[in-house]
Amino acid sequence: MTQLRLANAPSAAHPARFGGVAEAGVVVLVPLAAAALWALLHTPHGLVILLAMVAALIVPGVAAVSILRRRPRAVTPADRVTLGRVGLTGVVAAATVLVLAGSLPARTWVVAAVIGAALLLDAIDGWVARSTGTATDAGARLDMESDAALLLVLSILAAPTAGWWVLAIGAMRYVFVAASWIRPKLRGDLPYSSFRRTVAAIQGVALLVALIPIVPVPLAAASAAIALVLLAASFGRDIIALERA
């Protein structure tokens, strides 16, 4: 009987094989369902609904694949917080499609609340990683890419209000990565910088301010412009440091 129980018991490899599957499924399905419901409530056009659902899937889908490709496939408490932010990013991406299609106002309190929740999760996932002793390189990469994706979505959403130049906020990191393919020095490691972290946090707050309905449009544009100048200064500082290294 003992041998039979041992034979039927889950193997030690079981968690590594199936860990993260539930989290990957939730981070994809929840924003997809929210996007479908939101789109159905705001537009009768099937193509817009489809595009909103596709937009809601892009960032969560990439995050889910990154979780499933981990070896070992472990998901930490901080990762779950980050995945929550990823799911909210998918919802905001769906709202962005509705805004660009003219089915939703450019600035609404509901969208601003979702963005605020995403930024709050961004503020606490690092704290969760440190307090639980579960900080990992994979988690840091997931956090960084999630931040970049959220800023890109927010800059597209804010563009009809502040001006299309605001896309530079969301695109700057991706331009830097593309430049690193041509200039290998830009792939070097950078030391910790409180200035860099502060400027990164300012970007999301500035874009949120630009998307709050009661904020005057000139003030919305000014907040985004200040954030963009700071971001350009931060990237310029890092590029100089990498070139000198």
Nearest to 75 by CA among 153, 142, 8: 142
Over residues 173-189, the pLDDT tens digits come to 999 999 999 988 888 88
Q: Which range among 34-43, 162-171, 197-206 shows the weakest confidence by mean pLDDT?
A: 34-43
Most confident of 23-27, 193-197, 222-226: 222-226
* CB-based contact 91:145 (threshold 8 Å): no
* pLDDT tens sequence across 196-231: 989 999 999 999 999 999 999 999 999 999 999 999
Q: Is residue 20 pLDDT above 90, yes or no?
A: no
Identity of the amino acid at 28: V
Cα separation of 151 and 148, whole Å?
A: 5
* Average pLDDT over the chain, rounded to an integer: 87
The structure's pTM equals 0.88
Q: pLDDT tens digits, residue range 89-117?
A: 999 999 999 999 999 999 999 999 999 99
Q: Does 15 score more than 70 pLDDT?
A: no
